[in-house]
Structure 1
Amino acid sequence: MAMQFEQGYIEIKNATQNNLKHVSLKVPKYQTTVFVGLSGSGKSSLVFDTIAAASRRELNETFPSFTQQYLPKFGQPHVQDIEHLPVAIVIAQQRLGKNARSTLATYTGIYSLMRLLFSRIGKPFIGYSDSFSFNLPQGMCPSCQGLGYVDDIDESKLIDPEKSLNEGAITFVSFGPDTWRWRRYATSGLFDDDKPIKDYTAKEYDLLMHAPQQKLAHPGEGFPRTALYEGVVPRIRRSVIGKKEAEHHREAIAEIVTRKPCPVCHGTRLKPEVLTVHINGVNIADVSAMDLNHVLRFLQGITEPLATDVVRELSTKIQSLVDIGLGYLTLDRGTSSLSGGEAQRIKIAKYLTSALVDMVYILDEPSVGLHPHDIQLIRQALTKLKDKGNTILVVEHNPAMISFADYVVEMGPLAGQGGGQITFTGTYQDLLASDTLTGDWLRQAHHWGPERQPTGQLELRHVTQNNLQDVDVDVPLGVMTVISGVAGSGKSSLVTALKAKLTGDYIDLAQAPVGINIRSTPATYLGILDGIRKLFSDANDRVGTSLFSYNGKGACPRCKGKGVTITNMAFMDPVVQTCERCHGKRYSEEALQYHYQGKTIAEVLQLSVTAAAKFFVATPKIAAQLANMDKVGLGYLTLAQPLTTLSGGELQRLKLAVELGKQGTVYLLDEPTAGLHLKDTARLMTLFNSLVAAGNSLIIIEHNLAVISQADWLIDVGPDAGRYGGHIQYSGTPRESVEVAQSRTGVALRAWINEN
């Protein structure tokens, strides 16, 4: 039964953050409000950068200044006033940390309770709950320090026995001739530097490869006076693997390191005596290896009165995860392997069991990565959270998430500088009847796409990757194929198996582009910045092109091309101010004296992609690149927007823009519609159809029913996730899937096509 709360409002007055144009708004409390509108229309500026930032900042300021220095910093949002603002909890789509010691059970607090349970009623009694922790010396396996795996270094990959030290016998990166690491061996006085390794005695080889760290009694000439000598293998283990440097040499390390389950604890992470403690025939490692559905069954079988409270609390925590569709996850699942969607649902489940009320929970596209079946579970969970007496704010594009809103706010009318205004407020029914962008698109009739014939196929046989259960399926080529299924069903595993079978070139857009930093922008990523600088140079009596670089000669001398100055204030937030000298333009006065077609370089870089395509119409090479970005729905980005501010879906579409125009190839995409309004999704479908018409094959992992309905072929993986998935539920045309009861996607498509 929903509790009754006196209706109130969060009142925002005159918000001007980012592109917001003096926005004032009342958001109802104790209801679910969904914010809709084009990408770049100002939704995030209002919800995250104004409402959430103001709440978190005010909360942080209640702590002593000493504590504040350790808390995340939130800048002062540009807003006149926000009244009746609750404490905000932001549940973002970020993946959980990469700590090898963090599992689903430790992250959620379930493992602490499980340790308590085994220490209380497990037989035989061996000690208190710390004895069952693989992160504490009392319980961890001494061989692997509680990691569950050991890394072996393959020596044969480190050494070329045919070569001498002088010829580069140590083949591992950063140990080549004349490097500082190489000199420790070449100047040690221990070896003949011209003798091939294959001619070393066993003692010499052992000294080169395995010697522990030691001070040399009589080092050779040039050996550093205070340095210690250490064999190649222990040195790589100590100073490369596990250190910051490992990030740079990830591929090289993967070549030489073989990771395998610890031979002592067999991957359980725990001491042998801990594994002798049982409850109803299973030890704590057995329970950790169970999925959540099975853990609940294990708990139901415990009847000891001493354990009643612990079992009740454990069951509550686990049931909330099962209810939100995560029953397939095992307790020992590493948090680094969880998707952003799974991480977000774990956080939602955590707050469902919280006793705190009158909070404002803010979610960023909770539908991303979720099948329509999973979205129903999210809706139920958020309704429970609201009914406890909380306010829910959701930024969304998915019609299934918009339709459950009590209140809808549309931002627009356009993106970027053309947005930042409120174009609608009201109920979902009001939105459907309104003359607004989102209302218009929600009313459009749903229909099937064209059915094109494949030009060939890839035959996958007996695929057993991850959770796939000996799968056989044919993937058509020359058309658009969608692979669908609930989160965790095995879609990505199927695509991995497919990649292994592809013989020709393919373009994998499933991964985020590499090499993005704060100075990366659409202009640098597309490679058009040099061309733009040359246009300025040519138009101004060949002034050097470096003058038009904010990373070089043209940088504002005050802010060094950053556009802002940052003053560190010790205990307080750093003060970030728009640079007084260049007013955020990043360029020096000298660079801004010069114009191209009436605009300075700073003004050109502030143009949106759409506007810039028109501006550079006389330079086809630049205009064509920008037109491609417009085609993938990124026309609202400015040329100078840092790529670090883009979402995963935006980065994937940016990469697609660069790859457009290739023919006869296979494009692999993973949820390319993430973060797109219905209008932009339709534009992306037009682009996909033109790619197929040009002779390309598209293979797309997708949950968006508007995309699936337009595909030529549908492969549905399921029925559920983890060990409950891994089967092909359906393979055929989307139109015929609606008659297949065991296809979750077919069932969802049937409901969707009959909506309007």
Structure 2
Amino acid sequence: PADTEALLRALDGLKAVGNSLFVVEHDLDIVRHADWIVDVGPAAGELGGEILYSGPLEGLKAVKASQTRRYLFAKTGARLRPPRLAQGWLALAGVSRHNLRDVSCAFPLGVMTTVTGISGSGKSSLVSQALVDLVGHALGAPLAVEEEPDTEAALDVEPVAPTIGGLVDGIDSIKRLIVVDQKPIGRTPRSNIATYTGMFDHVRALFAATPKAKRRHYDAGQFSFNVAKGRCPRCQGEGFVVVELLFLPSVYAPCPVCHGARYNPKTLEIDYRGKTIADVLDLTVEAAWDFFADAPNVCRSLKVLREVGLNYIRLGQPATELSGGEAQRVKLATELQRSNKGGALFVLDEPTTGLHPSDVERLLNQLNALVDAGNTVIV
């Protein structure tokens, strides 16, 4: 909040000297400070794209289709829940990293903890770096990097000094460490929510079990766009090709052979309940929920994706097209499928950055579900 006040003062200063300001923002304090509001909706993805309102703040009250309106003019504050009782304590001692100097603290286990403070106070150094570093090494498995690092950028980065300090209690209660951030779930268009959540394995198995696929001796690999035998040979399963332009940046165009379907003609001759594997990848999560209603293995992933508010995302939508908040919810949905045994420590660094209040509400529901399953969440 202190940083928001400073930002608002800076914006007021720019406006006072004759500038026009156009701000894309979810923070309600900044929205309330605006002279003119443009609200886009009513929902996300294919369900959005409409200008619901354009005018002074007070006029938004009458727009019932607006999600923003619900939070801007809420008559009551957030509902407070009774605090949970700690099931133990994860204690750190003598921690030094960046601006942290010989810090000792303890985090309650089996509950959700929020670490707060002004920007630059050391929150991320304590939780996302020192805590993650110490717990990862104590578990014998330092946190794996999710993506390939940018080699050229890495040459300009100074090596980070290791964390000084240690864990003195509570590590025996933690079985796994999961850091959920807003980084992309994949660096290439080949990755999508169907592959990331593991759902696509079950979908491919359904296609391989159809009578026509069995007669042709097709296995599940035939329906993978990463395997040569089933994918389009021209675009190699990408669905598009790179067009090199002389003296201009390269552009992407739909594959002239498969027209974006990713698969070869023989693979697309197989259908499951009237749809090809390419048709299934073009379904939204909501449409797939109805289509695979009698396939429990597929519905398990679809259920949590719907619960986290991603019902509008297409199954085959490239991961590179997802926003940071969407990628984060995909990661949480994936963990919700396999965190029923409890004992995991989830660490999230400023997870509400860039999220609409309605998305924050969904995020809190997810985090509470993780805690109710016996896990520890530190935000």
TM-score, normalised by the number of residues in structure 1: 0.41
Letter in 1 for 2:275: K
**Percent identity for Structure 1 against Structure 2:** 43
CA distance change for structure 1 residues 437 and 652 in 2, over 3 Å: closer, same or farther? closer
Q: Which amino acid aligns with 1:509?
A: V
Which secondary structure does the structure 2 equivalent of 1:657 belong to?
A: helix
Matches within 5 A, 1:656-671: 656-660=332-336, 661-662=339-340, 663-671=342-350
The 1:598/1:396 distance shift into structure 2, 3 A limit, reads farther
The aligned counterpart of 2:315 is 639
Confirm or deny that 1:612 pairs with 2:288: yes
Distance 1:606 1:659 in 2: 24
Contact 2:193 2:315 in 1 (8 A): yes
Partner of 1:566, secondary structure, is: strand
* Alignment correspondent of 1:290: none
Summarize deviations over 1:641-665 as a string: whole Å, max 9, x none: 2222334443333222222233132
Give the residue type in structure 2 aligned to 1:517: T
Aligned twin of 1:425 = 54
SS at match of 1:555: coil
User: Out of 678, 681, 685, which is 2:357 matched to?
Assistant: 678
Give the C-alpha shift of residue 692 in structure 1. Answer: 2.1
How far is the alpha carbon of 1:576 from its aligned partner? 3.4
Q: In the aligned structure 2, how far is the partner of 1:590 from the partner of 1:607?
A: 21
Cα distance in 2 for residues equivalent to 1:667 and 1:564 = 37
Measure how far apart 1:699 and its partner are. 0.9
Residues 40-70 of structure 1 show CA distances to partners (whole Å, capped at 9, x for unaligned) of xxxxxxxxxxxxxxxxxxxxxxxxxxxxxxx
Question: How far, CA to CA, are the matches of 2:52 and 2:89 in structure 1?
Answer: 47
C-alpha contact (below 8 Å) 1:424/1:431 kept by paired residues: yes
Deviation at 1:462, TM superposition (A): 4.0
> Is the Cα contact below 8 Å between 2:180 and 2:346 reproduced in 1?
no
Question: Cα offset for 1:570?
Answer: 0.5
Q: Give distance in 2, aligned partners of 1:386 and 1:576.
A: 40
**Structure-1 residue corresponding to 2:238:** 562
Counterpart contact for 1:416–1:608, Cα < 8 Å: no
Give 1:498's aligned residue.
Answer: 131
Q: Which residue number corresponds to residue 42 of structure 1?
A: none
The residue number in structure 2 matching 1:536 is: 207
Aligned to 2:191: 520
Change (3 A) 1:476 1:417: same
* CA gap 1:664/1:420 in 2 versus in 1, 3 angstroms: same
**Unaligned stretches of 5+ residues in structure 1:** 1-371, 701-756
Counterpart in the other structure of 1:443: 73
Q: Structure 2 CA distance, aligned partners of 1:423 and 1:600?
A: 37
Secondary structure of the corresponding residue to residue 574 of structure 1 = strand
Provide the C-alpha distance between the structure 2 equivalents of 1:604 and 1:577, rounded to a whole number of angstroms. Answer: 22
Q: Closer, same or farther in 2 for the Cα pair 1:519/1:389, shift >3 Å?
A: farther
Counterparts of 2:68 and 2:115 in 1: how far apart (Å)?
A: 27
Partner of 1:374: 3
Distance 2:111 2:221 in 1: 46
> Which residue is equivalent to 1:145?
none
Task: Tell me which residue corresponds to 1:688.
Answer: 367
Q: Contact 2:109–2:376 (CA<8 Å) still a contact in 1?
A: yes
- The alignment status of 1:625 with 2:297, answered yes or no, reads no
Of 108, 111, 115 in structure 2, the residue corresponding to residue 476 of structure 1 is 108
**Relative contact order, higher structure (CA 8 A, sep 6+):** 2
Q: CA deviation at 1:490?
A: 0.6
2:24 to 395, 398, 406: 395
Q: Equivalent residue for 1:548? A: 223
Contact 1:593 1:600 in 2 (8 A): yes
1:605 deviates by: 0.6
**Secondary structure in structure 2 of the residue aligned to 1:458:** strand
Q: CA shift at 1:514, angstroms?
A: 7.3
| In structure 1, distance between residues paired with 2:16 and 2:225 | 52
Q: 1: CA distance between counterparts of 2:252 and 2:92?
A: 55
Q: Specify every segment of 5 or more residues in structure 2 that has no aligned partner in the other structure, as ranges.
A: 135-166
Whose Rg is larger? 1
Match of 1:317 in 2: none
CA contact (8 A) 2:95 2:102 kept: yes
- Cα distance in 2 for residues equivalent to 1:574 and 1:687: 41
CA RMSD of aligned residues (A): 2.6
Change (3 A) 1:429 1:546: same
Match runs of 1:726-745 below 5 Å: none
Q: Please give the per-residue CA displacement for 1:156-191, whole angstroms capped at 9, x wherever unaligned.
A: xxxxxxxxxxxxxxxxxxxxxxxxxxxxxxxxxxxx
Once residues 470 and 385 of structure 1 are traced to their aligned partners in structure 2, the CA distance between those partners, rounded to angstroms, is: 42
**Offset at 1:508?**
2.6
Maintained 8 Å contact 1:509/1:655: no
- Output the CA distance in 1 between the equivalents of 2:221 and 2:254: 24
Which amino acid letter does the alignment assign opposite residue 608 of structure 1?
A: T
**1:122-521 residue pairs with structure 2 within 5 A?**
372-435=1-64, 436-444=66-74, 445-447=76-78, 448-495=80-127, 496-499=129-132, 500=134, 501=167, 502-503=171-172, 504-510=174-180, 512=183, 516-521=187-192
| 8 Å Cα contact 2:185/2:319 also seen in 1 | no
Is the alpha carbon distance of 1:561 and 1:385 closer, same or farther for their aligned partners in structure 2, counting shifts above 3 Å?
farther
CA separation in 2, counterparts of 1:382 and 1:605?
Answer: 44
Distance 1:478 1:470, change over 3 A: same
Conserved? CA contact 1:522–1:640, under 8 Å = yes
SS of the residue corresponding to residue 493 of structure 1 reads helix
Q: 1:428 Cα shift?
A: 2.2
CA distance in 2, matches of 1:558, 1:458: 54
Query: What is the total number of aligned residue pairs between the two structures?
Result: 329
> What code does the residue aligned with 1:492 have?
S
Counterpart-to-counterpart distance in 2, 1:558 and 1:462: 58
> What's the CA shift string for 1:603-648, capped at 9, x where partnerless?
2111222332332222212211222223333333221122223344
C-alpha displacement of 1:450 = 2.3
Report the more deviating stretch, 483-492 or 454-463.
Answer: 454-463
SS class of match (1:576): strand
User: 3-state SS of the aligned residue for 2:245?
Assistant: coil
Counterpart residue identity of residue 175, structure 2: D
Mapping 1:111-126, distance limit 5 Å? none
Question: Is the CA contact 2:207–2:277 (under 8 Å) kept in the aligned structure 1?
Answer: yes
Structure 2-normalised TM-score? 0.77
